[in-house]
Amino acid sequence: MDTPKNPLNPNYESKLSQMSPFEIKNELIALAQADARKSSAAFLNAGRGNPNWIAYDAREAFFTLGKFAMEECKRVYQASPGIAATPHCEGIAQRFEAFLEKNSDSEGGELLAKSYHYMVEKLQADPDTLVYELADAISGDHYPTPPRILNFAEMAIRPYLAQEMGDNAAGGGKEYDLFATEGGTAAMCYIFNSLQVNHLVKKGDKIALMAPLFTPYIEIPQLDRYSFDVVTVSANPVEADGYHYWQYPDEELDKLRDPAVKLVCVINPSNPPSYRLSEDNLNRIVDIVKKDNPNLIVVTDDVYGTFADNFRSLMYALPFNTLCVYSFSKYFGATGWRLAVVAAAQQNLMDKLIAELPEEERKDLADRYGSTTLDVPSMKFIDRMVADSRDVALNHTAGLSTPQQVQMSLFALKCLIDTKNDYKGKMHQLIHQRLDALWDSTGFHMPEDPLRVGYYSEIDLMVWAKKLYGDDFAAWLAGAHNSLDVVMRLAAEKGIVVLNGSGFDGPEWSIRVSEANLKTADYVVIGKEIRQILDDYHAEYQSSQKK
């Protein structure tokens, strides 16, 4: 779509509003960069959730481990030019311990040593087998084996999820199977695909989306191969005091009581409002499933759970029904690594429903997966996902690359070792400093709320139009301008990129600001400019009333 000379054009804004906010973003970036070039304004992109920090010690540990692995490979065999053998297992733990002593003078070396001892002492890993898997995996010289996830990667990540996702049991997450995937986005694609090919949700079936939510969850169900009948469970209503609290009213959650609803997708904490589900919401969902819709499949995307206090995932509140997607990308500043897992309880609804399918559909699945196992009926849903991720025929080469699994394990171990939660405390402090800077500079009052996480802000300009200037002004604004005009003006006139909240099934006049990827001072600028645009609208309104 060609940009008109005047992009602040109602017709053009109306056409843009039909696109995904992540596609509109490209136009906003171009406008903002153009404004920054011709003015003294800085280009500020608060449109994406890519963090501007990294967990460097876990990366140092990764590269330190890589050095050991290369020493091991060259120890076995070395020839010119640059040829070595694969590592050998015998005695490798003893050599690794000696290596750790020599490389203890960096944070990465220290973390690697602590991670090794944690695995051996706390998780009872066999030292030689553990170190061999790590050295072999970081070398990337074999296909992932097992393809679902490496043995010691699963051993490390299970207790990490239990710790961070709110497992109140003593099992440390041992009752969960994990599938390592190329980021949370791949996990989403694999889940939708495998649910359909295993006849658990069929084309045209009724599913529920808990809005607002990350746009692919909105867009994937609309694809022709799915064409799902979507029920929206909305947290958008403004409460009696005129504020959004981003929780789900009982009458909205009760839409899930309909047994025709086969699947529900939820992001917890939410994206974009960035609020965790309340205990009341969690308990009501559990009650709905147990009393009225026991065959409801729940997909919970919990990537932001580590930024919440007292977080509890549906994967532990409702384990039998729930598939959990967890990505390491945001918490560790690792979007480029593409690291995530899908977690499924070892006893789960998906396996039960597959076992109860009609004979014709079970025969179809026997034909589909027959090349991978002699006992297809016993094949777990999560293992079917692995096979489906490579169109079954390439199941033997499936799986996330082994170096990626090493880095993911080191991220998990970093937090298991951090018993004082120093890293978590710093992350929370950083996000909330930026959140406060943004809101304080807008002049909009934000009530205290323990459920607020703050990775994003969803700012509903219509709420503040009413609170600051009254209902008459708000009504005029809705009629005089397209709701996309706010993000267009911020880009074209201020050099600032934010996303339209309406694209996330949020309120029409809301905007999404990421608190992850700019300096604290930048959010002061963004907040002031958001307020200035609202004030400019009001000045325009006053002028129109005089006429």
Distances (CA, A) of 4 to 8, 11, 16, 168, 245: 9, 10, 12, 56, 38
**Residue 537 is encoded by which pair of tokens?**
């609208």
Asked if 47 and 506 touch (Cβ cutoff 8 Å), the reply is no
> Which phi and psi (to 5°) does residue 210 adopt?
-95, 105
Angle in degrees, CA 202, 207, 208, rounded to 5: 165
Domain ranges of the chain: 10-40+423-546, 56-142, 180-381
Distances (CA, A) of 11 to 3, 66, 327, 510: 12, 56, 39, 20
Task: Tell me which DSSP letter residue 4 carries.
Answer: P
| CA 64/CA 407 separation, integer angstroms | 12
pLDDT in tens, the chain (547 residues): 556 666 676 776 677 777 777 777 777 778 778 766 766 567 899 988 899 999 999 999 999 999 999 999 999 999 999 999 999 999 999 999 999 999 999 999 999 999 999 999 999 999 999 999 999 999 999 999 999 999 999 999 999 999 999 987 656 667 999 999 999 999 999 999 999 999 999 999 999 999 999 999 999 999 999 999 999 999 999 988 999 999 999 999 999 999 999 999 999 999 999 999 999 999 999 999 999 999 999 999 999 999 999 999 999 999 999 999 999 999 999 999 999 999 999 999 999 999 999 999 999 999 999 999 999 999 999 999 999 999 999 999 999 999 999 999 999 999 999 999 999 999 999 999 999 999 999 999 889 999 999 999 999 999 999 999 999 999 999 999 999 999 999 998 999 999 999 999 999 999 999 999 999 999 999 999 999 999 999 999 999 998 6
Q: Which fold has domain 10-40+423-546?
A: Aspartate Aminotransferase, domain 1 (3.90.1150)
Task: Tell me which DSSP letter residue 457 carries.
Answer: E
Q: Do domains 10-40+423-546 and 180-381 have the same CATH topology?
A: no
| CA 453/CA 437 separation, integer angstroms | 15
Task: Kindly indicate whether the domain formed by 180-381 is annotated with CATH number 3.40.640.10.
Answer: yes
Distances (CA, A) of 334 to 53, 113, 224, 329, 433: 9, 22, 32, 4, 21
Which H, E and C letters describe 100-134, residue by residue? HHHCCCCHHHHHHHHHHHHHHHHCCCCHHHHHHHH
| CA 133/CA 151 separation, integer angstroms | 8
| CA 454/CA 250 separation, integer angstroms | 24
Burial class (CB in 10 A: 0-12, 13-18, 19+), 428: middle
Residue 129, phi-psi category: left (phi > 0), alpha (psi -120 to 50), beta (remainder): alpha
Residue 267 is predicted with a pLDDT of 98
Task: Tell me which DSSP letter residue 214 carries.
Answer: -
Residue 125 is predicted with a pLDDT of 97
- 56-142: CATH, from 3.40.250.10, 1.10.20.110, 1.20.810.10, 1.20.58.1610: 1.10.20.110
Residue 1 is predicted with a pLDDT of 52
